[in-house]
Every structure is written in structure tokens, then in C-alpha cells.
Structure 1
Amino acid sequence: MLTILKKEISGFFNSMVAYVTIIFFLVITGLFLWVFPESSILDYGYAGLDSLFYIAPYVFMFLIPAITMRSFAEEKKEGTFELLTTQPVTDWQIILGKFGAGLFLVVFSLLPTLVYYFSVYELGATPGNLDSGAVIGSYIGLLLLGCAFASIGIFSSSITNNQIVAFIVAVFICFIAFSGFESISSIASLGYLDSSILNMGINAHYQSISRGVLDTRDLIYFLSFSALFLAATKTVLSTRKW
């Protein structure tokens, strides 16, 4: 699995995909955090990174599918997946290696945003007047969100040999999983079912963790969600006829 992980990470950085997606993420979040007046920290009147953690999930909906779309689709298109399966590795090792590489790039994309944290920490009228607990919770929430979206991207890439199709399918599923259930619960008059539908979506659990409270139910949700799509990927690979 480590060999596949290293191979995938090397493949990302030997192409423009990693650099373009990471720069895209940093530019978009930077604009919302410092430039756009509706969300700029400089116009907030208080020190906080709310804008970053609000916009980041929506950027992730495009960033992570762009990273993972090549995982299996490119292998199948070029006919190299059959060669990979002849190596002494299991399907799970292949899946987890590619999943780990995608997650590595998510973490790599988030690391530069720590500059935002230290900037806001020092720029406040009272240096250090920042809710660090909520910030840490929000970063953990983004990492768990990255796991969920990466598992969706890996699954989407496994069902097609076209990277563009894999990207579109992954973006669609990510959007439905993150915002779809919230929209349904807000427009449907289902009484006590509203909260149940809301809790089926990712956003409710992401918001919970972002408040700085690490509830085991939220952790179990994200881990189960990621495991579900990785298991679905395993099912697709088990029935391959390429």
C-alpha cells in the first residue's frame, strides 16, 4: 500500500493537477477571507476565520474531485490497471493507497492556510483574542470532510474510464451529500423527520464539529460515510470486466 501511496503522490506532483488545484484553493479562500467586502476579516470587526471554514467545503467540492478523478479512470483508460493487479497487492491496498494520496493533498492544501490563523491571531485589537478551540475543531471538520469527499472521488473514478465524467459525478455526489439533505429538510414539511433528514447530510455534522465540540456521533458519521464509499469502490473493482 505504501508503494502505491508514494506512486500516486509522485504522480500528482509530476503533473500540473496538484499545483493548479492547490493554488486555486488558496486563491479562492484568500479572496473570501481578505478581499471580498461581504466576507473580509478586515470588515468583520472581530477576529475570526468563519469565512474560511464557510467557503472551504464548497471549494473542496471541486478541488477533491479534480485530485481524485484520475485515480482509476486514467489507469483503466491507459490499460495499466490490469498490470497493477498482477502485483502482490490486494484491491483494498490499491484503494487505500489511492485514497491516502488524495487525502495527503488535502492536508497539503490546508497547511498554507495556517498563515491565515497566525495573521488573524496577531492582527486582533488584542493579540491572541481568537477562539482557537473553534478553529481547531473547524480544521478537524475540514479533514473529515476531505476524507468523505476523497472517498466519493475514488468511487466515482472507479466506475468510469473518463476523468471528466468521474469529476462531474464526484462533484454531483459531493454537493448532494453536503447540501442536498439540508435543502430537502428545509422545504419539506415532515415534522419530526426534518431533523433526521438534516442529520443524514454532511453539513450538519461538519457544523457541529466546527463549533469546537468533538462528538463521537459526528466522528462515527464521517468514518462510516468514508468507509461506505470505499466499500462501494471495492465492490466495483471486484466485479471488473475491463
Structure 2
Amino acid sequence: MRTLYILYKKELKHFLMTPFGWIVLAFIMLLQGLSLSSVLEQYEKAPVQASMLHSCLSTPLFWVYFIFIFPLITMKQFAEEERSGTLESLMTAPVTTWQVVFSKYLSSYTFYAVLWIPVFLHIQIFSIITGSPAPVTPSEMYGSFGILLLIGSFFVAVGILASALTSSQIVAAIMTFGALVFVVFLGFVPMIVGDTFQGAPIFHYISVHEHLSYFSRGLIDIRPIVLYFSLSFFTLILTHHLVDYRRWKH
């Protein structure tokens, strides 16, 4: 555990102690603020039954920056080390492949979780400026952040796998973006072709959009929890085998 913690701390510093991490954080904060502003404009024009967080997680702007987060924070993890040659020296150190893979995954996932802290600040600022509580219940808040963390656990794992497949950060980012767009698109298949075909329940089950909509209303379902944990574990196993193959090949 001590070795894993040391590797995790080292990887996390690349996000929190470099300009790259703070630029990404500032960029995401800006887009989160714009998304909230667009929702508040809708509230001003006409009454909206959906909660503020549910509305924020349904805007086109949210989907744009949400999918772009993962290529940004994962593309360097293995690809950069492979390109610079430091991965080979790391693999020859007295550390296990699982420790290397998991430290990179945990550091990326931790930084991903940090990116959502500003949303709490936005809600507090809303209450301070208006002098009234934000139109968000505790269950809606916990559900929204819970599902964002669940989806992120799988999406970060996909980015780590893509980074381990190539020595180019650009290629890793494109692969991650393409894979995540495909996963999100699968949830829209019933909307496009209808619910009449037999496979429709499967697409509803894996629909990221439906999971966000459900949890952001404060409704908790155990099935997405099992789904994302299982997919994350399976993806990390693939990454482990890939990195381990490279390790013994060298």
C-alpha cells in the first residue's frame, strides 16, 4: 500500500502542481458557470419543473465539456511515458503492474472528482447573491454528484486504457473521445429507432443520459452502480494485461 500511495501521490502532483491541471480546472469552471447561467436564464423566462442540477446536466454545453474532460486528463498517463521512455524504467522498478495502473487511474479519477467541486461553490454563490436557498434538494445534489462519480469511474478507465494503447497523446485523446461518444450514443438508440425492437431494454440499461436524468432527480437505482463498477473493473483488467505484456516484452 505504501508503494501505491507513493506512486499515486507522484501522479496526482502532475495535476495539482503543474499549470496543466489548473488550466483544465479553470476551463471546466468557466463552462460549468456558462451552463448554470443558461439554465438560470430559462428559469427567468418561464417556470421550470426540473431541478437546477437536472437542467444543468441536460444542456448541450454540459455534454460537450463532460466528454472532453476525460481525454484531457488521461491522454498523458501512459502515452507520454511511453514516448519519453520513462515507462520502461518504471516497469523495471520494484513495483507491480497493478500498482502502476491503479496509481495512474486513481490520480486521474481524483482530479476528475476535484473538477466538480466548483459546482458546490456555484450553488453557495447563488444562495448568497439571491438571499434564498438554491432550488436543489439534498437528494438531488447527492444523486447528481453520485452518478457523475460513477460514470467518471468508467470513463476514466477507458481513457487510461486508450493511453496505454499508444505512445501518442493525440491518438490516445482521439481514441478516448471516440469511444465515449459511442458509449453515449448507444443510449440514444431507442430515441432514434423507437422502443419496439427487442434490444431496447438493453440500450435503456446502458443509457448514460437516462442515468444522469434519473439520479439528478434524487432517484437512486442500484443497476447503474453495478454497471459502472463492473465496466471500470473490466477495463482496468484489460489495461493491466496490456501494460503487463509490454513489461515482459521489454
What TM-score do the two structures reach when normalised by structure 2?
A: 0.85
Report the AA paired with residue 21 of structure 1: V
**Secondary structure of 1:211's match?**
coil
CA distance in 1, matches of 2:199, 2:167: 39
Identify if the C-alpha distance between structure 1 residues 136 and 173 changes in structure 2 by more than 3 Å, giving closer, same or farther: same
Does the 8 A contact of 1:122 with 1:128 survive in 2? no
Report the AA paired with residue 220 of structure 2: L
Q: Indicate the residue corresponding to 2:23 in structure 1.
A: 20
Does the 8 A contact of 2:74 with 2:163 survive in 1? yes
1:151 aligned to 153, 157, 164, which one?
157
1:214 deviates by 2.2
Q: Indicate the residue corresponding to 2:54 in structure 1.
A: 50
Q: Indicate the residue corresponding to 1:5 in structure 2.
A: 8
CA distance in 1, matches of 2:109, 2:141: 20
Does the 8 A contact of 2:14 with 2:21 survive in 1? no
Report the AA paired with residue 31 of structure 1: L
Structure 2: gaps spanning 5 or more residues: none
Report the AA paired with residue 156 of structure 2: A
Report the AA paired with residue 170 of structure 1: T
CA distance in 2, matches of 1:37, 1:223: 31
Comparing both chains, which one has the higher relative contact order based on Cα–Cα distances under 8 Å and sequence gaps of 6 or more?
Answer: 2
CA RMSD of aligned residues (A): 2.4
Report the AA paired with residue 109 of structure 2: L
Q: Indicate the residue corresponding to 2:140 in structure 1.
A: 134
CA distance in 2, matches of 1:116, 1:26: 9
1:31 deviates by 1.0
1:175 deviates by 1.3
1:134 deviates by 1.1
Q: Indicate the residue corresponding to 1:99 in structure 2.
A: 105
Does the 8 A contact of 1:32 with 1:39 survive in 2? no
Give identity over the alignment, percent. 26
CA distance in 1, matches of 2:131, 2:157: 42
Q: Indicate the residue corresponding to 2:231 in structure 1.
A: 225
Does the 8 A contact of 1:209 with 1:218 survive in 2? no
- Counterpart check, 1:182 vs 2:182: no
Does the 8 A contact of 2:39 with 2:52 survive in 1? no
1:50 deviates by 2.8
**What are the within-5 Å matches in structure 2 for residues 171-210 of structure 1?**
171-178=177-184, 180-188=185-193, 190-210=196-216
1:128 deviates by 5.9
What TM-score do the two structures reach when normalised by structure 1?
A: 0.88
Identify if the C-alpha distance between structure 1 residues 205 and 20 changes in structure 2 by more than 3 Å, giving closer, same or farther: same
Report the AA paired with residue 25 of structure 2: I
Identify if the C-alpha distance between structure 1 residues 49 and 39 changes in structure 2 by more than 3 Å, giving closer, same or farther: farther
1:133 deviates by 0.9
CA distance in 2, matches of 1:86, 1:155: 20
Task: Kindly provide the CA deviation profile for residues 177-206 of structure 1, in whole angstroms up to 9, marking residues without a partner as x.
Answer: 12x112322233552321222323333333
